[in-house]
Amino acid sequence: MSLTVLFAARNDDWHTYHEALEQAFAAAELDADLVTTADPEEVDYIVYSPSSSLQDFTPYTKLKAVLSLWAGVERIVSNPTLTMPLVRMVDPGMTQSMVEWVTGHVMRYHLGMDDHIVNPGHAWRPKAAPLARQRSVCILGLGALGRSAALTLKALNFNVTGWSRSPKEIKDIETFHGPEGLTGALRHAEIVVLLMPDTPQTENTLNKETLALLPKGARILNPGRGPLIDDYALLDALDSGQIAHATLDVFRVEPLPPDHPYWAHPKVTVTPHIAAATQAATASVEIANNIRRGEAGEALLNLVDRSQGY
């Protein structure tokens, strides 16, 4: 009997994913009906984004798993009706996109590009950048995205450190973990990249005290989630010169309200949550593979650990 896979996201997501999912299901030899409406009792899997009108999972009595289209699951994980296995999105296309965003913005800071791109007075300031190996970059979060970003920056010769909840071993990268490891990770970091999930434990990871641990004039990149940074502490640190500049892709409230101080701040670059979108073609292959695994009795990949919230 064929499986029923319900696609529950925004209407325009359906246009983006419909064909890619059908192709991926065919390639995985899945006998599955991909639908946007169904009798809840007939649904085997749900491909899901939190922007969907589906918020009550109680009627889905046969549901085997919910497969998120998003990497961040903070808006789903606390839904008390969602008791079935929840899979977060790990998509090689999205990972590549994040690596490119991080690398581009690290290079902007490393090379001091702004001095020359915006130079209305035609100032002549011949000061070459140091080599990448003389520049310390710290990645907070060494999961699917942070680890790939760290490896790419290491391949460019940056002096990379990383921090995560549990211990990690990554060749040529000094790693730290747990609350007690954060000081060591930040102490020499001239550029800090935040790639952690939004959980009660990660909220305000960068705050007044931890921003003060950084070398004066450090730069911040946040493509993770807005609550990872205490906004007021960051604004104070920018104004005092402790932090030289921040590039922020994610915010506590999105879209970032027009009167938010970040928009007008001369030391802040705002990008509108575009660091890494899920890529339909590659993400669909991951979804199809996970459904195939579920049907074959194999463990699902990238299951959310509800006790950790990510």
The one catalytic residue in 252, 273, 293, 306 is 273
Q: Is 195 in the site for ligand NAP (CB under 6 A)?
A: yes
Q: Is 91 in the site for ligand NAP (CB under 6 A)?
A: no
147 included as an active-site residue? no
137 in Cβ contact with 153 (< 8 Å) = yes
Q: What does the DSSP assignment read for 67-100?
A: EESSS--TTTTT-TT--S-EE----HHHHHHHHH
Q: Is 9 in the site for ligand NAP (CB under 6 A)?
A: no
Q: Is 166 in the site for ligand NAP (CB under 6 A)?
A: yes
Position among 52, 68, 159, 164 found at the interface with ligand NAP (CB under 6 A): 164
Residue 8: strand pairing partners: 48
239 in Cβ contact with 231 (< 8 Å) = no
Q: Is 189 in the site for ligand NAP (CB under 6 A)?
A: no
Minimum CB distance to ligand NAP, residue 271 (Å) = 8
Q: Is 276 in the site for ligand NAP (CB under 6 A)?
A: yes
Q: Which burial class, exposed, middle or buried, applies to 146 when counting CB atoms under 10 A from its CB (0-12, 13-18, 19+)?
A: buried
For residues 56 and 79, what is the distance between their CA atoms, to the nearest angstrom? Answer: 8
260 included as an active-site residue? no
Which residue is closest to ligand NAP by CB? Answer: 143
Which residue, 40 or 72, has its beta carbon nearer to ligand NAP?
72
For residues 194 and 224, what is the distance between their CA atoms, to the nearest angstrom? Answer: 5
Position among 9, 71, 211, 288 found at the interface with ligand NAP (CB under 6 A): 71
288-305: string of b/e by CB count within 10 Å (b at 16+)?
bbbbbebbeeeebebebe
Q: Is 202 in the site for ligand NAP (CB under 6 A)?
A: yes
Identity at 303, one-letter amino acid code: L
Q: Which two tokens stand for residue 100?
A: 């490119």
Site string for ligand NAP, 239-258 (x = CB under 6 A): ----------xx--------
For residues 277 and 173, what is the distance between their CA atoms, to the nearest angstrom? Answer: 27
For residues 202 and 98, what is the distance between their CA atoms, to the nearest angstrom? Answer: 20
61 in Cβ contact with 46 (< 8 Å) = no
200 in Cβ contact with 180 (< 8 Å) = no
For residues 35 and 46, what is the distance between their CA atoms, to the nearest angstrom? Answer: 10
Q: Which two tokens stand for residue 266?
A: 């001369």
Minimum CB distance to ligand NAP, residue 219 (Å) = 17
Q: Which of residues 110-129 bind ligand NAP (CB under 6 A)?
A: none
Minimum CB distance to ligand NAP, residue 125 (Å) = 33
Q: Is 72 in the site for ligand NAP (CB under 6 A)?
A: yes
The one catalytic residue in 105, 110, 219, 225 is 225
Position among 85, 93, 223, 226 found at the interface with ligand NAP (CB under 6 A): 223
Q: Is 20 in the site for ligand NAP (CB under 6 A)?
A: no
Minimum CB distance to ligand NAP, residue 303 (Å) = 11
What is the set of active-site residues?
A: 225, 273
Q: What is the contact surface with ligand NAP in residues (CB under 6 A)?
A: 71-72, 90, 94, 98, 141-146, 163-166, 195-199, 201-202, 223-225, 249-250, 273, 275-276, 310
